[in-house]
Amino acid sequence: MSTYRHIPWRPGVTLERLNSFAKDTMVETLDIVFTELATDHVKARMPVTAKTVQPRRILHGGASVVLAETIGSVAANACLDDEHSAVGQEINANHLRPVKEGDVVTGVGRLVHAGARSQIWHIELFDSAEQLTCVSRLTMAVVKRR
């Protein structure tokens, strides 16, 4: 039995809408683009470029975390009504293998828990050869908008 949940997308959520939140943000700066929206997952990709590598010319772990948190955060907010917002509370990441400059990483986010006050997302990152490069868990606090 899967531990992942059906994602309760808010009516009207589309890839175009998810990508529209990137304007003038780090998401746009790092060229993160949402590519797939399904009932049980969401996908986004990020190129491994000079913007996202460390001095050894491999993907910076912090950039992996930015991609993971972007996927979970945008998805979490796309499940909530206008009165609530999801904000990052905790994230962890296990970096499993390096990704070389010139490659692309794809993240797949799946909902583990959706409660009245929190959501938990599991995000896996893969290189272009579909090798698992990073595993992350993101906890989002659900708060009333001010």
pLDDT in tens, 45-57: 999 999 999 999 9
pTM of the model: 0.96
Mean pLDDT for 66-84 is 97
| Per-residue pLDDT at 2 | 61
Is there a domain that residue 109 lies in?
yes
- What is the pLDDT averaged over residues 86-92? 98
pLDDT given at position 4: 83
Rg, C-alpha atoms of the chain: 15
Contacts 24+ apart (CB under 8 A), 58-64: 58/98, 58/99, 58/100, 58/101, 59/98, 59/99, 59/100, 59/101, 59/103, 59/105, 59/133, 61/93, 61/95, 61/134, 63/30, 64/93, 64/95, 64/105, 64/125, 64/133, 64/134, 64/136
Domain count for the chain: 1
**Structure token digits, residue 119:** 């959501």
pLDDT confidence band for 110 (50 / 70 / 90): very high
Q: Is residue 2 part of a domain?
A: no
Q: What are the DSSP calls for 75-87, one per residue?
A: HHHTTS-TTEEEE
Domain span at residue 45 reads 15-144
- Residue 146's pLDDT is 86
CATH number at residue 87: 3.10.129.10
**pLDDT value at residue 1:** 46
Can you tell me the mean pLDDT for 107-127?
97
Active site residues: 69
User: Is pLDDT larger for residue 40 or for residue 146?
Assistant: 40
Residue 10 lies in a domain: no
